[in-house]
Chain A
Amino acid sequence: MAIIEIKNLTYTYPGATKPSINDVSLKVEKGEFVLITGPSGCGKTTLCRCFNGLVPHFYQGELKGEISVAGLETLKHHTHEMARHVGLVFQNPENQLFALSIEKDVAFGLENLGVSQAEMRQKVDWALHQTGIYDIRERSPHEISGGQQQRVAIASVLAMQPEVIVLDEPTSFLDPLSAEKIFEVIYELNRKQGITVILVEHRLDLTAKYTDHLIVMDEGKIFFEGDPRDILNSEQTRLIGVGIPKATLLYQMLKKDGLNLNKTTPLASEELADQLLEALKKW
């Protein structure tokens, strides 16, 4: 069974006139790395809130359709029950950290779950190591950079050992280098720990290479779903306002001008560089 199953989900915020999620159906298999993108206001954040039951438990409003994550129907299970299975990382790192030291923040979820002190220590240390912030565990949140803060936020959901981690534009407050490090941490968790990752991102330049399941949303609907190489190569995707990776754009231009390049669309600069070298050798 798929780890996330959504059938005909439609959701309207209280007081809103039109639904923010409109008839969305989606299946995510265990261990997948799913990338969601789309113009702002298209409902990505709202969809993320559905995964752990913030919608509808926290936000109220009207939810129709079916959604189950890790075998639990979010309609029937409160967010604090879902928290063991789904970790949510939000956009602004500053507003996710509330303790006065990093390790205390990482422990927050486990404390809420009533985990024993010894077990907590072990899980906290594990999460700190996985995200590379073990050495700064005793600092306070304002002594560290935004990138480190976001890693703390990741560690703090990781400590609860969820099957799924959902990250909503985790790097939009960060510089490109810190962003890249965050993506590497996420990719490692996916590959080595087998955690299912749902990543919402605009920076496809840096992230498209990690996934083979891309979702493009627009106006509350799933517009395209599938292999990023096909989707990002299509003209329609560009017209919605999706940030196509530069390597892909350059590939399209060169191809149009008659350069005989490999058939697979490159998603990252390294891939394009390889293809160009290959083409030049044949010349």
Chain B
Amino acid sequence: MSVFEGLRFRKVYSPIHSLDPRIKFIYVIVIFVIAIIFWQVIPLLILFFMQLPFVLLARVQKQWLRSLRGAAFLATFIFLLNILATYISSGFVLLAFDFERAFALTLRFVVLVESFSVFFLTTSPDHLGLALEETRVPYEFAFAFTTAVRFVPVLAEEAQTIMDAQKARGLELEKGSLLKRIRNYVPVLIPLIVSAIRRSLELAEAMESRAWGATKKRTNLYSLRLHRGDFALIAIIIGIIIVAAYVYIYFFASIPAITQFLQL
């Protein structure tokens, strides 16, 4: 059950959650681009810590830490691979600065993961669906997206029920070689697929009965409007762009490395 709880979405209210998802997305893209442009540790650290107020304001620190932990494995891998590559290419010597560069590249990856996870952790699917509807994405896509979010937990629960039922009839899922184990899942998959097809037919019937496709000009119960918070975020985004551009143009070469400090 606990696995499926994770799939279900709940409405959460916080200043960050109620921001316009489109603006939040632009914010993420800006952070993304800046993280790609800079390769030095200090600006990347700044970018990393800049997300913290968002995380705290949205009160998603637990989930945020979990997503970072999820990225830790890949981050370690990137770090070691970089060290190894420099070690080999520089003729089997390692300088302190090589560590710093490997660290910076890893940090860049972490910042990318972090900013996207902040976006997805603080944007509820219905908000995202609404944003899709309001941009020029065809309505069918937005509908497919929200319907998927709606039915993924339902299907997951159903899969669990079918698994329990088949186990009760003596099916052993966890036994045998890999191939055998995959085959074991056939009696679970077939009823699941059959039921999913029936479900989709019923859904189609219900949609038809509620005037699906009546007009080309669909309207919407909600509309996204920019509020104070959104304007604040736009101001922040512009500020970030100006600072980043300024630093990039005038100081890019003179951004100090951490190793330089340590040698002082």
Contact = CB atoms under 8 A, between A and B. Distances in A.
Interface stretch (A9-17, A93-101, A198-206, A252-260): A93-101
Interface in B128-176: 129, 143, 146-147, 149-151, 153-154
A92 B195 CA distance: 13
B49 to A, nearest CB: 33
Contacts of B209: 52, 54, 79, 83, 87-88, 157
B215 interface: yes
A139 to B, nearest CB: 8
What's the interface size class on A, roughly? 35 or more
Contacts of A116: 219
Contacts of A103: 221
Nearest to B201: A95
Interface stretch (A24-32, A106-114, A170-178, A225-233): A106-114
Contact of A110 (B8, B205, B219): B219
A80 interface: yes
A228 B146 CA distance: 45
Contacts of B210: 83, 108-109, 112, 156-157, 160
A277 interface: no
A54 B205 contact: yes
B150 A100 contact: yes
A94 B154 contact: yes
A246 interface: no
B9 A80 contact: no
Nearest to B208: A79
Interface in B80-125: 124-125
A283 interface: no
Interface residues of B, number: 38
Interface in A192-224: none
A120 interface: yes
Nearest to A119: B219
B207 A111 contact: no
Interface string B184-226: 0000000000000001001111111111111101111111000
A113 to B, nearest CB: 5
B143 to A, nearest CB: 8
Contact of A90 (B146, B205, B215): B205
A113 B223 contact: no
Classify the secondary structure of A's interface with B. Answer: helix
A114 B217 CA distance: 6
Given A100-B149, A101-B126, A142-B154, A114 B219 contact: yes
B221 A117 contact: yes
Interface in A106-145: 107-117, 120-121, 124, 138-143
B125 to A, nearest CB: 6
B223 A117 contact: yes
Contacts of B126: 99-101, 104
B213 to A, nearest CB: 6
B141 to A, nearest CB: 14
Contacts of B147: 98
A143 B5 CA distance: 11
B150 A99 contact: yes
A84 interface: yes
B208 A58 contact: yes
A108 B208 CA distance: 11
Contact of B211 (A54, A112, A139, A141): A112
A100 B129 contact: yes
B10 interface: yes
A54 B208 contact: yes
B228 interface: no
A98 B214 CA distance: 18
B11 interface: yes
A270 to B, nearest CB: 35
A45 to B, nearest CB: 10
Contacts of A117: 219-221, 223
Contact of B10 (A81, A99, A140): A140
Contacts of A142: 8, 153-154
Contacts of A112: 210-215, 218
17 contacts: A83-B214, A88-B206, A88-B209, A90-B202, A100-B150, A101-B126, A104-B126, A104-B221, A109-B210, A110-B219, A114-B217, A117-B221, A138-B11, A139-B11, A140-B10, A153-B206, A157-B210
Interface of B: 8-11, 124-126, 129, 143, 146-147, 149-151, 153-154, 199, 202-215, 217-223
Ranked 7 nearest A-B pairs via Cβ? A83-B211, A107-B221, A109-B210, A100-B126, A95-B202, A80-B214, A112-B211
